[in-house]
Chains A and B, each alone.
Chain A
Amino acid sequence: MLITRRADFSASHICAQPVLTPEQNAALYGPASNPSGHGHNYVLEVTLEGDPDPVTGMVFDLKKLKDLIQQTVIDPMDHRFLNYEVPPFDKIVPTTENVAAEIWRRLEPHFASGPARSNNVRLHNVRLYETDDLYVDYAGADAEVRG
């Protein structure tokens, strides 16, 4: 069974590579490369997979999931400039793809295959909306296609 918790945060970013010229960055990222940055209201959907506990009837305590998302993602990223305030985005470009993968890396250790696991629940998918019209789905490095 899949359960999904939604959360949102607002943050600013610049999508540009220091090794490229302003013209090259504009061709690659469009207005997202404007040098002073810009912001989005990100919407995050975290999906867990597991069987309901026979006693509690729950796959996972959604309050615990809410708190985990709050501590690992929302508190560090909300109302922040990702490039300047949230590592690793001082070193990698905070595209929607990279932000989604970073959120996965922050959440995944708390679930079934991770070292801090206290359950048999698996992190199934991270969906990150940058706008109403653009979202990415990331299901971990093992699920990634190879280039």
Chain B
Amino acid sequence: MRVTRRYRFAASHRLNSPTFSADENRALYGKCSNPYGHGHDYILDVMAEGPVDNASGQAIHIPTLDRLVREQVLNDFDHRYMNADLPEFQSLVPTSENIMRVIEDRLAARWPEAFPGSWPRLKGIRLRETKRNVFELRS
């Protein structure tokens, strides 16, 4: 059984790589490289998979997942400027692709503690930056 739970956070970012010149950043990232950053209402879908426990009828304990996502992701990301406020993005451009990798790493780091045993497993995450830009990572 696959369970998908949706979360939301509002955060700002700037896409600008020190590897490139100002003109190259402008050509690569367009308005996303404007100097003071900009923000989005991100929608984060966390996908988990596991067998349904016969007694509880559940494949995953949702309050435990909510706590894990809140502590590992939302508390640090929500209403923050990712480039300035998150250690990962001191050396990494906060594109949606990289944000997903960071979120996956943060969830994976404490997943075994939250969910001891073989199941449920993290199956992937989906990040909606805007209505038209949706990214998905399969774990």
Q: From B56, which residue of chain A is reached at the shortest CB distance?
A: A28
- Chain B nearest Cβ from A15, distance in angstroms: 7
- Chain A nearest Cβ from B7, distance in angstroms: 8
Place the interface of chain A in its size category. Answer: 20 to 34
Contact A147 B119 (CB under 8 A): yes
Q: From B49, which residue of chain A is reached at the shortest CB distance?
A: A145
How many A-B contacts at CB < 8 Å in the complex? 64
Place the interface of chain B in its size category. Answer: 20 to 34
Contact B57 A15 (CB under 8 A): yes
- Chain A nearest Cβ from B48, distance in angstroms: 10
On chain A, the residues within 8 Å of B118 by CB distance are 147
- Chain B nearest Cβ from A2, distance in angstroms: 16
The 15 listed contacts between A and B (C-beta, < 8 Å) are: A15-B57, A17-B56, A93-B57, A95-B57, A95-B58, A98-B52, A133-B5, A134-B4, A135-B4, A136-B2, A136-B59, A137-B2, A137-B3, A138-B2, A144-B52
Instruction: Point out residues on B near A: beta carbons under 8 Å.
Output: 1-7, 49-53, 55-59, 61-63, 118-119
Instruction: Point out residues on A near B: beta carbons under 8 Å.
Output: 15, 17, 19, 28, 30, 92-98, 100-101, 132-138, 144-147
